[in-house]
Structure 1
Amino acid sequence: MPTDIRIKKGLNINLVGAAEPSTSKAVSSNAYALNLLDFHGLKPKLMVKEGGEVQAGEPLFFNKDFPDMYFVSPVSGELVEVERGARRRILSLRILADKEQRVLKHKPLDAEKADADAIRAFLLKSGCWPFIRQRPYDVVADPTFVPKAIFVSAYVTAPLAADINYTLKGKEKEMQAALTALGKLTPGKVHVSVGKGEESPFAALTGIELHKVSGPHPAGLVGTQINRIDPINKGERVWTVSPQDLVIIGEALLTGVFNPERTVALAGSCVKQPQYYTTKIGAEISTFLYASGVKEERCRVINGDVLTGSKTSPEGFLGFYNNTVSVIPEGDDYELFGWAKPVTKKVSTTRSLTFSWLTPKKKYNLDTNTNGEHRAFVVTGQYEEVFPLDIYPMQLLKACMYKDIDEMEQLGLYEVSPEDFSLTEFICISKQPHQQIIREGLDLLQKEIG
């Protein structure tokens, strides 16, 4: 029986430009790229030299900490560039795609009959393992560790994010195969959260614990659901997988082919015709960005949603975990006496000079302007109003800033990831980079505690 989870604290940010339920095929990309910054903390070892040829699904590099963990090419072609940074750290790999695609095939695996070791080996070899992430630390999962549970969030509350129920329609067979396989990797349950009252493709699937979630953002974040369903204690680990990645895992199990196809939502007020496009991981964003048209020149392209995504250029490449590309106005202009007059076109949790609280369903055309400068933390109690986890957000942020490991542990850093603080960062009147602070705290904790 499904269980109900109701989240009361939070804030829905309704923006103009949500993607319409219409899907087009993106133009084939000439080049594809893997950004290694998507795999935080990874120590890569190249398996293909610059100028070498690869097939789609063939390993490009492996994780030095786990040599059996392969990261594969999304397409066949030539590895034309290995971008390096400080101390020759690999930043990205760029592949020039072949016109005729060549695909590396593995022997399909029946998840119903296979044991945990066989499933783990298949996912590592096929390149599907990086889709499994772990908490604490929000990194690619450690394959030598057995998680106490696995979580999938199919309830979307982030502004302009892709509609999971639309993008996964007709993919039930692949999702069932993936969930069956994942269920054998944990002695606990596979928890799947869907929107209450929504027609979800997960409703008819078996082998899962279904939860019906309602409430404002961040109710759709997997961290919020973990906190309500089965919180993480010190020494415990859980794994998380996004719904669209389940399709890739399931298809690999059923066919033996790594197919990195994505249905991407191109959204935002700068897009003339916001809609969905089918493309592949690592494809050039320009292959579908200009097909819908951009209204103005001064726009910011965001690889992901507007709260957790990263700034990129139109010539950039789709992120490994992203299924949304947002395009909103660049906030590089300033209002005269903007701080001293009533505000009607912005979202705020305060009632001081703002009126967004009177029209909670109104859609706004927001830009990237932070509407203020960076300053010291001000104690206002605003974070607690939109932060549904049973954690003191400001105290945890400060503990991360002054690097008190004992206090970070006691305040619940094991439970969170940077995205859990995206909303508090949005409303922060001190303009502090909350997600960066939490990321640095997690890195320190992982380095010291392991």
Structure 2
Amino acid sequence: MSEVIKLRKGLNIKLKGSAEKALEKLPVPATVALKPTDFPGLTPKLSVKVDAEVKAGDALFYDKYHPEILYTAPLGGKVVSINRGERRKILEVVISTDEKVGSAEFTKADPSGLSAEEVKEQILKSGLWPFIKKRPYGIVASPEEQPKDIYISTFDTAPLAPDYNFVMDGQLDTFQTGVNALAKLTEGKVNLGVQAGSAFSSVKNAVINTFDGPHPAGNVGIQIANTNPINKGEVVWTINVQDVLFIGRLFETGKVDFTRTVAIAGSEVKAPKYVQTVLGAPIKDLVGGKLVETDYNKRIISGNVLTGEKVSEKCFLGYYDSLVSVIPEGDEYEFLGWADPGFSKFSATKTYFGKLFPKKEYTMNANIHGGERAFVLSNQYEKLVPMDILPVYLLKAILVNDIDKMENFGIYEVIEEDFALCEYACTSKIEVQKILREGINTMIKELG
């Protein structure tokens, strides 16, 4: 039994509408899409044209600077459109699905009996490599680098997050196969971040780290910082817990299977629950007919309310997302405004009386209640980030483009999700996550 790492800093935001542990299997979607915009720093080059027939696992596009990294079709069918934005930027590659087309064939083998190069080649050819990200920077890992360790967080503490113990029910053997494959890719260890009593504690060929604490304790970056922090020049790889299943299925069956369990949650969902669908499924298939009828606008978010992307029913599920959150937009006038005593409002501080009811669940909207103000030192951020880091100093170093100070204040250790709570609670209404990504982009441009 591993020692429990107790984290005190952070904040749990209790939103109404958590998904009940009930699973609905959705029909195969008529269309699916892969979005290059889901991959920070990617310069995509197309491998297909409109009307091309592709099997599941066939390449749709690849990375211009790492052509060995392929981004493959979630299902077989025909490419019906390649949607572009400004300056012909590729936004989506949309496929009209056809189950008769089938899947590309790969090697079926026990990864424990393969070499590291054979495992790497299989993951690259199948298009599963983009699920592996690297720290620093939170971008797709380079196959040429050697990570000191690989980290997987098996729980999520974000608002409305799915319960991965429920999601993984009956699939732990496949998860173990995925872990065995990942263990071949590092000379270090595969590290699992778990909660006490988790089913993942029985996984072999991995180091088990048990965590206890409020959000962001479930963030893999927080777990790295509290077990083996990243130093300059070091690389750590990370992968989401459900994405390990994709790797496990690949080696068990010799085919790609992008089936994913997604939580549909939030106060605006009639009956929040889990659905089984596929990567890149249309948002309309996931939420259609499931939302409460109201006279106010709703915000649909692919991901969680802190870090997710605002989408419409015409959009597609994000590449890494296992949650769709639906909350009120908050664009209507509010009686009394800031003068409301707030018995039914959640507050990160003691602004509202709702702070007196810590176990209460709240209906919260997307209104930020004000505009940007002076960015002052308040010690507010430090209470929300359980890392040996000074968030405000790091953000100000980014704003003045001081690379040395960015290094000194810990930019190698964090990505947007680690500072998301700071943006939520910020008195100054600073776009923390946007600033941090701009700093990361600067580091990549200047230092590689």
Task: Quickly name the TM-score band, shorter chain normalised.
Answer: over 0.9
The aligned counterpart of 2:381 is 383
Q: Give the share of equivalent positions with the same residue, in percent.
A: 45
CA distance in 2, matches of 1:134, 1:199: 25
Q: Deviations 1:286-322 (Å, cap 9, x if unpaired)?
A: 1121243333251110000111100000121111100
The amino acid that maps onto 1:384 is E
- List aligned pairs for 1:288-303, cutoff 5 A: 288-296=286-294, 298-303=297-302
CA distance in 1, matches of 2:357, 2:321: 31
CA distance in 1, matches of 2:112, 2:348: 49
Dislocated runs of 4+, deviation >6 Å = none
CA distance in 2, matches of 1:414, 1:39: 18
The aligned counterpart of 2:259 is 261
Q: Deviations 1:366-396 (Å, cap 9, x if unpaired)?
A: 0111011122213221111111111001111
The amino acid that maps onto 1:145 is E
Contact 1:23/1:276 (8 A) holds in 2: yes
Q: Deviations 1:97-116 (Å, cap 9, x if unpaired)?
A: 12534111112132111111
Secondary structure, in 3 states, of the residue corresponding to 1:203? helix
CA distance in 1, matches of 2:393, 2:343: 32
Contact 1:51/1:80 (8 A) holds in 2: yes
Secondary structure, in 3 states, of the residue corresponding to 2:118? helix
Contact 2:50/2:79 (8 A) holds in 1: yes
Query: Larger deviation: 215-224 or 86-95?
Result: 86-95
The aligned counterpart of 2:5 is 5
Aligned length: 447
CA distance in 2, matches of 1:3, 1:169: 25
CA distance in 1, matches of 2:90, 2:198: 43
Query: Larger deviation: 271-280 or 43-52?
Result: 43-52
- List aligned pairs for 1:369-380, cutoff 5 A: 369-380=367-378
Secondary structure, in 3 states, of the residue corresponding to 1:229? coil
CA distance in 2, matches of 1:364, 1:90: 39
The aligned counterpart of 2:94 is 94
Query: Larger deviation: 394-403 or 91-100?
Result: 91-100
Secondary structure, in 3 states, of the residue corresponding to 1:134? strand
Cα drift, residue 436 of structure 1 = 0.6
The amino acid that maps onto 2:221 is G
Secondary structure, in 3 states, of the residue corresponding to 2:61? strand
Could you tell me which runs of 5 or more consecutive residues in structure 2 were left unpaired when the two chains were aligned: none
Q: Deviations 1:17-52 (Å, cap 9, x if unpaired)?
A: 000000001233211111111111112111111221
Contact 2:181/2:247 (8 A) holds in 1: no
Secondary structure, in 3 states, of the residue corresponding to 1:5? strand
Contact 2:21/2:273 (8 A) holds in 1: yes
- List aligned pairs for 1:69-80, cutoff 5 A: 69-80=69-80
With normalisation by structure 1, the TM-score equals 0.97
Secondary structure, in 3 states, of the residue corresponding to 2:300? strand
Are residues 293 and 336 of structure 1, via their aligned partners in 2, closer, same or farther at CA, if it must alter by over 3 Å?
Answer: closer
Could you tell me which runs of 5 or more consecutive residues in structure 1 were left unpaired when the two chains were aligned: none
Contact 1:328/1:368 (8 A) holds in 2: yes
Cα drift, residue 431 of structure 1 = 1.0
Contact 2:54/2:101 (8 A) holds in 1: no
Query: Larger deviation: 360-369 or 282-291?
Result: 282-291
The aligned counterpart of 1:42 is 42
Q: Deviations 1:85-140 (Å, cap 9, x if unpaired)?
A: 23322121111112534111112132111111111111000111111000111100
CA distance in 2, matches of 1:339, 1:61: 49
Contact 2:107/2:122 (8 A) holds in 1: no
The amino acid that maps onto 2:287 is L
Cα drift, residue 336 of structure 1 = 4.1
Q: Deviations 1:207-244 (Å, cap 9, x if unpaired)?
A: 10001111000111111101001100110010001110
- List aligned pairs for 1:44-193, cutoff 5 A: 44-98=44-98, 100-193=100-193
The aligned counterpart of 2:216 is 218
CA distance in 2, matches of 1:355, 1:298: 26
The aligned counterpart of 1:348 is 347
CA distance in 2, matches of 1:376, 1:83: 39
CA distance in 1, matches of 2:188, 2:355: 42
The amino acid that maps onto 1:172 is L
Give the superposed CA RMSD.
1.3
CA distance in 2, matches of 1:336, 1:185: 57
